[in-house]
Structure 1
């Protein structure tokens, strides 16, 4: 509708002013959730003594062997079996149970199997399963469709959602004649054994009159990606003291998107999952199988791809279990520097640029190099199995334009858009190739430099080949990147410009003298340039923003659907 109206004005040569207002529905629901009367201590602020009081114990091998699995793959994965068994037998109203799922370890498979086992174990169980985004909720619902009928499973969609669900899930939803979604009456919702929705729409059952405590279990997948108030929407609007809470996610990957610098300083960028997992009762190895389970079998990537993130983020516990036919597909490819090592770092020294009215960076030379790699890969790999990740919106736009004509199925997006995704081949364009603003980037953890979570997500999406195009002088400012680049160089995966430091030298955890190699004049000039960019933006009639918010928008933080 908006597009057709704009086309009409454009065809008549008229100028129009558009003003968009923020939809405050999600924020209202978060406020409503955190001010609700629900205050069950073991769920909100669990204590060590709650473990014994709740009767929590590690599942015995005999208990695991007694389970009749819906997905036989789980039977060959002891951590998954432990998680499924523990969840199925959790006492009502106990402390939250956490499924810690590093990349490619089958977290969603575990959650789906656990839901089905709860239903089998407890005939009275009623489950609300949520995820922060519609895509995440659709994945859970779609996998449950294999085992549950339309009378048992309901995909609760917000009335405002655009009808882009699969045909399969349409039969599990309720729609008006015009195709829009509707929320059924409370007695209808209460007939289903499983209701799946987004976290934001998790308040709808309560809103139409479903009583608190009707749902015996509430599952939150990707719980680390949503803010704590957002995760509290389905919990505090539906739970009572007897409701069991299960969280799944990875605190080492991207957390919630919080735009406000004030909100970040007040701690809203710390998710509910992060807050709980920082407590000793969820960190202790002795409590594995009791309060949480850590999945350790990586079914996605070649061993060389997962090895460095495993050591840096997961205590070296991940086991490379991917099917060799997929993981080793690229070995021997003539573009690999080392035919037995499926990682390339293409060192390129070029120029990063910005449009005059935007603070977002792009890099034409890197985009051209990405294009060449895509062209080389697609002879042996379908376009849809190639992904391109870059941290800046401007570079996403340039790459999409460049690839659209010949490679329309290649996915190009920011790191946030790739969380939870995977491709046989991943190409990463890091963009930054000058020291201007890099200190600002480091202070505010933008792009890839000095942002471990964004680094972790980007480097763990590939199944069989990972290609990084970037400037080592910029990336090497960060100790994490420098260690990674040293490893690539040692394994013969380096291409292009020579490595600008001694790769065998030990890398300290911090920067030299705790700061980057700037003199005061360079820093002052960088800050002045930044203010000029903002002033130019305001001069064009655009609202001036706080400099931190502008540059964090530059990192293209992904804002999922509010419903």
Structure 2
């Protein structure tokens, strides 16, 4: 915060769960309430979702945010903070509305006059006009000129009043929140913004980032994390040059190095792999005990790696070097299977893996009464897999019957609240439990764009207390991406990260082998068989 305030240009790196949004909100509150900066601040992000999150946080902090957005881009609950809503509350809104109504009325009159003149001119071309009709036409032409002048004058008055109202509203706000692109809107030209904060700066393209800096900026802080999702740049040449957040290495910078989201055993590998062990945990007390809210979810014994007991006598966990010492439930489990992938409309899908994911979700809802659908997120890198999983949870009649049998109809209703998205869809998000469906499973070991190091980072850091990664260890260990012109296999940095992750989960005893056999059958059918047996027993008794 001190650097963001004290330096005219600064860069803040915020790894997953380190509180980038809270840091921005706290800094703005300090500037407005302590230092009493008179001008409103401008905060821009790459996505509308991030803007909404900021507006919510700023409002809760007692600040007056103003949300500038295109129509339909704002959450309904934030309507009162939008520019359009504030316009309606302005003291001169009625005067402006009257002028706008007058503009419309004059416009309608002009349209009617022009239609009548056109009709007379068509008649004149065919059969001529009487002297009376000629006088009427001439009179209407003069009236069009008068009405046109009146329309121009009324429009100028309406525009001037609107700009004055917008300026009042902007100056009355503590902070203006919008996306980088929308900051170019004419409404924000009414005043200058000397202080600009760019959130998600590592995701924004350089041209987009420059837009808010052209609004009179004299003080800027870039907040983001180049270790997570990059901007979408299609040009290979432009991509090779990097982007704004990465290139500003000579400006004052700092990394937020304490994460408050994840169970320490979930954050351990990402800290090692992506942040050189500099990402520390704020989710354990001074004695090393993990916060109670991050206790791993309960699962059936068939979903636990070998040697792990299902029952837990300890109500606390202690973590040392990323390993849980006092709990029998690991917060990270890798489910290794051999179900092959297949192509579907230029995408990839893995049916066996989808069935395993469905079984894991079913088990979580069955064994954790305090876990709801909105607490669970499913990540898949391929659209076809997302489509399949969405169908299984929401539209497949056989699975609907199965879920109702195992969970009961009321509990099964939670399934529709589960979010199923790509890695990009979960950027900046978090869930109690994440299930990561990797999809790729082939004899050649090709993992395609799954071999994106930054997307792997995002995928492994969305979960608070439970992370289930489903995939093929053999495929991910090979981690091939493509063949070069000389026939050699390409292996990128992301593929190397997957290889190290496979070594990590193997060394820490976090792998559940689900090759065809009894173990896989119990995972896929254990709960539904037990429910059916219980139903038969109930009828018999």
Normalising to structure 2: TM-score of the pair?
A: 0.65
Question: How far does residue 436 in structure 1 lie from its aligned partner after superposition?
Answer: 6.0
2:166 alignment partner in structure 1: 185
- Which residue matches 1:292? 253
Is residue 257 of structure 1 aligned with residue 232 of structure 2?
yes
State yes or no: 1:226 paired with 2:204: yes
Query: Post-superposition shift, 1:482?
Result: 1.7
- Aligned mates of 2:360, 2:58 — CA distance in 1: 38
Relative distance call for 1:127 and 1:457 in structure 2 (3 A) is same
Summarize the alignment of residues 476-515 of structure 1 with structure 2, pairs less than 5 Å apart: 476-477=477-478, 478-496=495-513
- Secondary structure, counterpart of 1:408 in structure 2: helix
Please tell me whether the aligned partners of residues 223 and 271 of structure 1 are also in contact (alpha carbons under 8 angstroms).
Answer: no
Matched residue SS, 2:83:
coil
- Return the alpha-carbon distance in structure 1 between the equivalents of residues 363 and 16 of structure 2: 27
Ranges of 4+ aligned residues in structure 1 off by more than 4 Å: none
Relative distance call for 1:417 and 1:145 in structure 2 (3 A) is same
Shift of 1:461: 0.7
The structural deviation recorded for 1:393 is 0.5
Shift of 1:186: 3.9
Structure 1: any 5+ residue segments left out of the alignment?
A: 1-83, 283-290, 499-563
Q: Counterpart in 2 of 1:376?
A: 363
Match of 2:183 among 175, 199, 202: 202
Look up the SS of the partner of 1:438 in the other structure.
coil
Answer yes or no: is 1:141 the counterpart of 2:55.
yes
Gaps of 5+ in 2: 89-161, 284-289, 309-327, 396-411, 479-494, 516-541
Greater C-alpha radius of gyration: 2
Deviation readout 1:134-157 (Å, 9 max, x if unpaired):
1111111111112446xx431112
Partner of 1:455: 456
2:158 corresponds to? none
Between stretches 377-386 and 428-437, larger displacement belongs to 428-437
Q: How does 1:275-354 map to 2 (within 5 A)?
A: 275-276=247-248, 279=249, 281=250, 291-322=252-283, 324-330=291-297, 334=301, 335-337=303-305, 338=308, 339-354=328-343
In the alignment, which residue of structure 2 is the partner of 1:396?
386
- CA contact under 8 A between 1:228 and 1:270: conserved in structure 2? no
3-state SS in 2 of match to 1:267: helix
When normalised by structure 1's length, the TM-score is 0.62
Q: Which has the higher helix share?
A: 2
Structural mapping, 1:4-403, within 5 Å: 84-90=1-7, 94=8, 96-119=9-32, 120-148=34-62, 152-158=64-70, 161-162=71-72, 164-175=74-85, 185-205=166-186, 209-211=189-191, 214-236=192-214, 238-240=215-217, 243-258=218-233, 260=234, 263-267=235-239, 270-276=242-248, 279=249, 281=250, 291-322=252-283, 324-330=291-297, 334=301, 335-337=303-305, 338=308, 339-355=328-344, 358-379=345-366, 380=368, 381-403=371-393
Aligned length: 374
Q: Cα RMSD (Å) of the superposition? A: 2.4
Structure 2 Cα separation of the partners of residues 269 and 398 of structure 1 = 38
Matched with 1:19 is none
**Change over 3 Å in CA distance of 1:225–1:209 after alignment to 2:** closer
Q: Deviations over 1:332-368 (max 9, x none)?
A: 863332334221111111121123xx21001100000
Displacement, 1:387? 0.8
| CA deviation vs aligned residue, 1:479-515 (integer Å, no higher than 9, x gap) | 21121111111221111258xxxxxxxxxxxxxxxxx
